[in-house]
Amino acid sequence: MKAFAALVAREVRLAWTGGGLWLPVVFYLAVATLFPFVTGPDKALLARTGGGILWIAALLATLLPIERLILPDRQAGILDQLAMRGWSDELIATAKIIGQIFAFALPLLLATVVGSALIGLPEAQLGTLLLGLALALPALSGLSVTIAALTAGLSGASALGGLLLVPITIPLLIFGAGTLSEDPRNAMQLLAATALAITALSPFAAGAALRAGRI
């Protein structure tokens, strides 16, 4: 358990030192800041569309840390050393996903409060938006680790990662946007179910990808 905690702590530390923590947050807030420049200062329009924009921004921010999640560890031999110590690839993936939740999902949730203020989102919608993102961000963390494991070492990994991630996240985006409607209950339930399934399956998919990439 101590070793697992040490691996999770390492993931968070690497995110902190390697820009994986603040880059997605800055990107996320930059989108929130730029959006009103495009639509104009129409408060009603911003209130109606702002939540959806933050959802898309969160999804795109997921792409930013992908290159640093698996490839550096594979190249440095860290993954080999962990495998030699009896760590299953699924357990390594789980530690990385939990690390991502701390290093990516939680900061993004905090940034949502700032982002919603920048867009002028109604306060009543903020709670729903935070709840929806809190459900979806662990799934997005799982997907980013999975796609990082799938694309590690491939040429054009970033672009390929984006091409893979965007279609997979469409259900999360649809249900997430649905939670911003007047009656968010059904969409929230569907979002929770989808996010839970993705989060639960991600360690197995990422673990299989790690195994397949071992040479």
Residue 169: phi and psi, rounded to 5, are -90, 0
Residue among 103, 110, 115, 121 at smallest CA distance from 30: 115
List 1, 38, 44, 84, residue binding another protein (CB under 8 A): 84
Q: Does 212 bind another protein (CB under 8 A)?
A: no
75 binds another protein, rule: CB under 8 A: yes
Indicate whether 77 belongs to the interface with another protein (CB under 8 A).
Answer: yes
Task: Pick the closer one to another protein by CB: 45 or 76.
Answer: 76
Question: Other C-beta atoms within 10 Å of 61: how many?
Answer: 25
Asked if 210 is part of the footprint of another protein (rule: CB under 8 A), the reply reads no
Quote the CA–CA distance of 143 and 62 in Å, as a whole number. 9
Among 45, 76, 163, 193, binds another protein (CB under 8 A): 76
DSSP state of 215: -
| Residue from 29, 32, 26 nearest 65 by CA | 26
In the complex, what is the shortest distance from the CB of residue 19 to another protein, in angstroms, rounded to a whole number? 11
Binding flag, residue 156, another protein (CB under 8 A): no
Residue 8 touches another protein, criterion: CB under 8 A: no
Q: Are the CB atoms for 116 and 126 separated by under 8 Å?
A: yes
Residue 73: CB minimum distance to another protein, A: 9
At closest approach, how far in Å is the CB of 98 from another protein? 16
Residue whose CB is less far from another protein, 70 or 108: 70
Are the beta carbons of 132 and 173 closer than 8 angstroms?
A: no
Residue 170 is a binding residue for another protein (CB under 8 A) = no
Q: Does 103 bind another protein (CB under 8 A)?
A: no
Nearest approach in angstroms of CB 75 to another protein is 7
Amino acid at 195: A
Residues 6+ apart with CB under 8 A from 11: 95, 96, 98, 99, 100, 102, 103
Q: Of the candidates 6, 45, 110, 212, which one interacts with another protein according to CB under 8 A?
A: 6
